[in-house]
Amino acid sequence: MTNPCPENDWIAVDWGTSNLRVWVMRGTAIVERLDADQGMGSIAPKDFEPVLLSLISPFLGPHKTPVVICGMAGSRQGWAEAPYTSVPCGPPGLRHAVRVATKDPRLSVSILPGIKQDAPADVMRGEETQILGYLAKNPDFSGVICLPGTHSKWAQISDGKIEHFRTFMTGELFALLSKSSILRFSVGSDVDVDAFETAVSDMIRRPEDFNADLFGLRAGTLIGDLSGDEAMGRLSGLMVGCELAGARAYWQNQNVALIGASQIVKLYARALATQGVTADIASGEDSVLAGLSAAQHSLEDQI
Amino acid sequence: MTNPCPENDWIAVDWGTSNLRVWVMRGTAIVERLDADQGMGSIAPKDFEPVLLSLISPFLGPHKTPVVICGMAGSRQGWAEAPYTSVPCGPPGLRHAVRVATKDPRLSVSILPGIKQDAPADVMRGEETQILGYLAKNPDFSGVICLPGTHSKWAQISDGKIEHFRTFMTGELFALLSKSSILRFSVGSDVDVDAFETAVSDMIRRPEDFNADLFGLRAGTLIGDLSGDEAMGRLSGLMVGCELAGARAYWQNQNVALIGASQIVKLYARALATQGVTADIASGEDSVLAGLSAAQHSLEDQI
């Protein structure tokens, strides 16, 4: 089927540090979903256009096609720097985007900025577009959005604005500890759920025990009867619990939404449930696409 | 000079995960100090004897020479397993050592055991011999001994016994974060002392902020005016402060001794000083040799 209205075609791109996800769009409908492992961390600025073209060339018509990008492609080491907007602010749309000159005349590339906070110093790039997507679907949402991951974000939302936010290195710490520390000899492949929940509660009650409790996993499998899966559950629980202890002001007596990949948001939902908090859950991929779509349509509407 | 009394010669060995340190001894006098990077982690059980011989062969006489070893050589993956003794107990001497059969008839090898604690589960191998050495030099010591390092130990001592202890993964976490995490782009090579002390106090006051404060270093150098050395000082301070927060019961209103390498014990002494605690300081190398010597002489004395 030929597209009767090619000027409505556009390309949505989530370009992170490790991965690149592309959706070829017709309005809000997905024509094609593509991905590659050529994230910002592994390519040079001059490579962004050829990498993108290698994926989307077959979908380009004779006219200019808008390409809307979020994520680390807009960092200083990325394709082109899209300077941060500052909290309090709404998640940035195309009005705040950086337009990038391309060699290929068929491309009209815009990169959405990230958000910064001066005190305490904090930054995000990519998550703000997931928040934009969540708010597009839930326009009356007020409360806190948590985006678990390598660098988990907790953002306080009111009246469609991000008031303030805080980042936790939970995912990166977990990867280092489970794969590169002495604990790699102790952890199994599955998360024992009881051990996870106990460790979450332990951390919220006594966050100062984080460091010693980590070594306790090694000792527990060496001289105790801690199984590999229990150690894995407990390590996950210590990590998430350490984050929840620091983010207490964000979830206590708050309306909480979790955005991310299915497995990790389920784990965070379980951790929050130990504290009596029930969170709304949304897919990270759906949210980022909804956010890119909201940004693209906000320009079309000249809002 | 030939040794007039060869039966008094003995060999002291501290055989850790990464390194091997050997002292050729005449009584309590050092004849020669040798080292190698063939730690327990990089060699197989059958290699321990040849590795040791390659260092000490020139110093062996016709008679059997006692070799006293502490550290990871006594672990299950080491030369021969020296089963843990359990707290409360004095630092183990030769009576608790494992005798290892050797191919070379000139060797009489004993490996000192480590110490374990059932609840909370914890283990040490090597530090107990440093404690033995410190107590040999300070027989009336009562209080807490802290041995900072890859896996820092805090041990409560009374009447020459280790009552209980706790391990913190501070050194290993610091190495992972400063070399393998996103923070490697933020930290400089020197520790800014003011930033270090502020971070220690922050952690003792609010240990739950550990995780978010880590990412704050990245954000602070990215969008703030945090220098590389300030980030390095603050990272060190967050790590040591996180340990002090968890070890509070070990240092608050306690008599504290620090044993270790000069640079790290100075940093810990500075951290403790922010909390009004003045620690006695002892060299890790002197202490382990004094401990091996105390073990060797306790056998000679048949104590």
| Distance in Å, alpha carbon of B217 to nearest chain A alpha carbon | 8
Q: Which chain B residues touch A172 with a CB distance below 8 Å?
A: 181-182
Share of chain B above pLDDT 70, in %: 96
Instruction: Please give the residue range of the domain that contains residue B12.
Output: 1-116
Asked if residue A275 and residue A191 are part of one domain, the reply reads yes
Asked if residue B170 and residue B69 are part of one domain, the reply reads no
Q: Which residue, B59, B82, B116, sits at the end of a domain?
A: B116
Q: Which residue, B116, B134, B158, sits at the end of a domain?
A: B116
Q: What is the distance between the alpha carbons of residues A186 and A218, in angstroms, rounded to a whole number?
A: 6
Of B172, B212, B245, the CB nearest to A182: B172
Q: Closest by alpha carbon to B73, among B35, B44, B36? A: B44
| Distance in Å, alpha carbon of B286 to nearest chain A alpha carbon | 27
B106 in a structural domain: yes
Of A123, A219, A248, the CB nearest to B121: A219
- Contact predicate B122/B167, CB 8 Å: yes
Q: Which chain B residues touch A212 with a CB distance below 8 Å?
A: 120, 166-168, 246-247
- Contact predicate B151/A214, CB 8 Å: no
- DSSP bridge pairs for B144: B156, B256
Q: Closest by alpha carbon to A13, among A82, A100, A110, A94? A: A110
Q: What is the pLDDT of residue A298?
A: 77
Q: What is the distance between the alpha carbons of residues A257 and A274, in angstroms, rounded to a whole number?
A: 16
CB pair distance less than 8 Å for A223 and B118: yes
Work out the mean pLDDT of chain B and round it to a whole number: 94
Q: What is the pLDDT of residue A5?
A: 47
Asked if residue B47 and residue B100 are part of one domain, the reply reads yes
pLDDT digits (tens, 9 = 90+) for B189-205: 999 999 999 999 999 99
Backbone dihedral angles phi then psi of residue A5, each to the nearest 5 degrees = -140, 70
Q: What is the pLDDT of residue A3?
A: 45
Name the one residue in this structure whose structure tokens are 């951390």: A203
B20 in a structural domain: yes
B121 in a structural domain: no
Q: What is the pLDDT of residue B298?
A: 77
Q: What is the pLDDT of residue A95?
A: 93
Of A122, A226, A242, the CB nearest to B211: A242
Q: Which residue, B66, B87, B116, sits at the end of a domain?
A: B116
Of A168, A208, A223, the CB nearest to B215: A168
Mode of pairing for the β-strands spanning B122-124 and B143-147: unpaired
Domain count for chain B, please give it: 2
| CATH label of the domain that carries residue A262 | 3.30.420.310
Asked if residue A102 and residue A156 are part of one domain, the reply reads no
pLDDT digits (tens, 9 = 90+) for A238-271: 999 999 999 999 999 999 999 999 999 999 999 9
Asked if residue A196 and residue A80 are part of one domain, the reply reads no
pLDDT digits (tens, 9 = 90+) for B224-267: 999 999 999 999 999 999 999 999 999 999 999 999 999 999 99
CA distances, A31 to each of A37, A108, A298, B281 (Å): 21, 19, 21, 69
The 3-state DSSP composition of chain A as helix, strand, coil percent (nearest 5) reads: 45, 25, 30
Which stretches of chain A drop beneath a pLDDT of 70? 1-8, 299-303
Name the one residue in this structure whose structure tokens are 């009374």: B158
pLDDT confidence band for B303 (50 / 70 / 90): very low
Asked if residue A112 and residue A56 are part of one domain, the reply reads yes
Q: What is the pLDDT of residue B8?
A: 55
Backbone dihedral angles phi then psi of residue A94, each to the nearest 5 degrees = -65, -25
CB pair distance less than 8 Å for A210 and B210: yes
Asked if residue B175 and residue B295 are part of one domain, the reply reads yes
Asked if residue B159 and residue B55 are part of one domain, the reply reads no
B170 in a structural domain: yes
Asked if residue A50 and residue A86 are part of one domain, the reply reads yes
Asked if residue A135 and residue A261 are part of one domain, the reply reads yes
Asked if residue A152 and residue A24 are part of one domain, the reply reads no
Asked if residue A289 and residue A157 are part of one domain, the reply reads yes
| CATH label of the domain that carries residue A63 | 3.30.420.300
pLDDT digits (tens, 9 = 90+) for B148-194: 999 999 999 999 999 999 999 999 999 999 999 999 999 999 999 99
Among chain B residues, the shortest Cα distance to A151 is held by B215
Q: Which chain B residues touch A18 with a CB distance below 8 Å?
A: none
CB pair distance less than 8 Å for B208 and A246: yes
CB pair distance less than 8 Å for A211 and B168: yes
